[in-house]
Structure 1
Amino acid sequence: MTIWLDDDQQAAWRKLATVVERLPGVLDSQLRRDSDLSHFDYLTLAMLSEAPDHALRMTQLAERTSSTLQRLSHVASRLENRGYLRRSPCPGDRRTTNAQLTEAGWEKVQATAPGHVATVLCTVFASLDAQDVAALDHVMGKVMQTLDADPPL
């Protein structure tokens, strides 16, 4: 027997699916137009900017960007060629690689962040009150727990 979504689930699912499809394009368009970065480029630089010494192992950076090492490596090469990050062997474990934000990368994050934050505020949070934000955080946390479950459903 096939199990279907009930009417409330169907309505919520359609809204979530629309957000999942449309939001990345909105964020990517603003970043490309204003900063010549993709959303994933910016996310990579932003995660490094928040790390101690602006550096992370590539495996940690992949986790923080919800990416595969292969995709991250490709993006890191592009960002390295633009002078925004550098990769080097990890001093404590030569089998792993660190990524570190360069001064130019730090300046790029600082210049890019205000426009990105304004877009997120306008697109996601402008119509939400504090209770909505708390509910969004709660619901997304539950969805992420399911996505992170081992093994996934």
Structure 2
Amino acid sequence: MKETRGLDAREAQLWQLYRDAYRELTTTLEGRLIRNAGLSGADYALLHPLSVADSGVLRTRDLGRSIGWERSRLSHQVSRMEKRGLVVREECESDARGSMVRLTEAGRVAIEAAAPDHVDAVRSHFLDQLTREEQDLLAKLLDRVLADLPTRAADTPLADC
């Protein structure tokens, strides 16, 4: 069995700073979404890929993969959003066991109203804190970290359709 190396003080501080920054940035962005657009972070996470998809519709499986959610979490969120008229589920023509999620007109209005302020918040609380060179470096570093992670798709089966 491989022996686990502990984190030295510098590594522990870096890891904690990353966790704190992620938590606080997420809290700030989600709070602003709720206050200014009446959408939760989960609502926005789901509405965004639908808003840029062809015809505003995605296979449930593809939507779940695009946001990194398990099938049950996605299903519960879609149900909540259906009740609010933001999305609808449809049968998958190519596989009767699966489903599609379609953005409604109300969902499109909601994401289009929320997006400008959300982008402004991302810019002011994240991107503007870094120089262009730091942004490029951070993108390169995050790409490297992501490339070494196991794929979620292989570990977590999502909807068939």
The reply to whether TM is greater than 0.5 is: yes
| Alignment correspondent of 1:37 | 39
Between the two proteins, the alignment pairs up a number of residues equal to 152
Amino acid at match of 2:29: L
In the TM superposition, 1:25-104 aligns within 5 A as 25-104=27-106
SS of 2:129 mapped into structure 1: coil
Gap change, CA 1:43 and 1:2, over 3 Å in 2: closer
Of structures 1 and 2, the one with the larger relative CO (CA 8 A, separation 6+) is 2
Distance 1:63 1:107 in 2: 24
- Identity, % of aligned positions: 31
SS of 2:97 mapped into structure 1: strand
1:128 Cα shift?
Answer: 0.9
1:147 Cα shift?
Answer: 3.0
| Alignment correspondent of 1:147 | 149
| Alignment correspondent of 2:111 | 109
Amino acid at match of 2:33: L
Distance 2:57 2:104 in 1: 9
| Alignment correspondent of 2:125 | 123
1:9 Cα shift?
Answer: 2.3
SS of 1:147 mapped into structure 2: coil
Amino acid at match of 1:53: S
| Alignment correspondent of 1:19 | 21
Distance 1:149 1:46 in 2: 22
